[in-house]
Amino acid sequence: MSALSGLPPLPAGTVLPAGVRNASPDEQRTYRTAMAFERVLIGQLTTAMQSTVPGEDDDATAATKSYREMLPGTMADALTAGGGIGLAADLARSLKTQGPAS
């Protein structure tokens, strides 16, 4: 079990590199965990970025506000499903060289 097991599952259709698809189950699990972490990080970054954009919330309907709240998570899911931003590969490589936690 991963130390990062509290992370949400990856979106359906997430792209895994060929090297990961052909790797051992443990290496695949490590990469998936790294991708899940990357997804959470992207979600937090897009939420922070969205908060810097002035909105028109005074006149927005409840539906519009709801859609605006879903946008960062949807963008994070789409980026992760497309292979992410490259952080997961570096993180998985780092975890692999570091070895299991004691």
pLDDT tens for each residue of 82-98:
888 999 999 998 988 87
The answer to whether position 75 is within a domain reads: yes
Residues 41-67: tens digit of each pLDDT? 999 999 999 888 876 666 778 888 888
Q: Can you give the length of the chain in residues?
A: 102
Domain that holds residue 74: 40-51+60-102
Question: What is the pTM for the complete model shown?
Answer: 0.75
Q: How far is CA 86 from CA 16, 17, 52, in A?
A: 12, 11, 25
The answer to whether position 28 is within a domain reads: no
The answer to whether position 25 is within a domain reads: no
The helix, strand and coil proportions of the chain, stated in percent and rounded to the nearest 5, come to 60, 0, 40
Q: Domains in the chain: how many in total?
A: 1
pLDDT higher than threshold 60 for residue 2: no
The answer to whether position 85 is within a domain reads: yes
pLDDT, residue 57, reads 65
- Greater model confidence, 18 or 42: 42
pLDDT, residue 46, reads 93
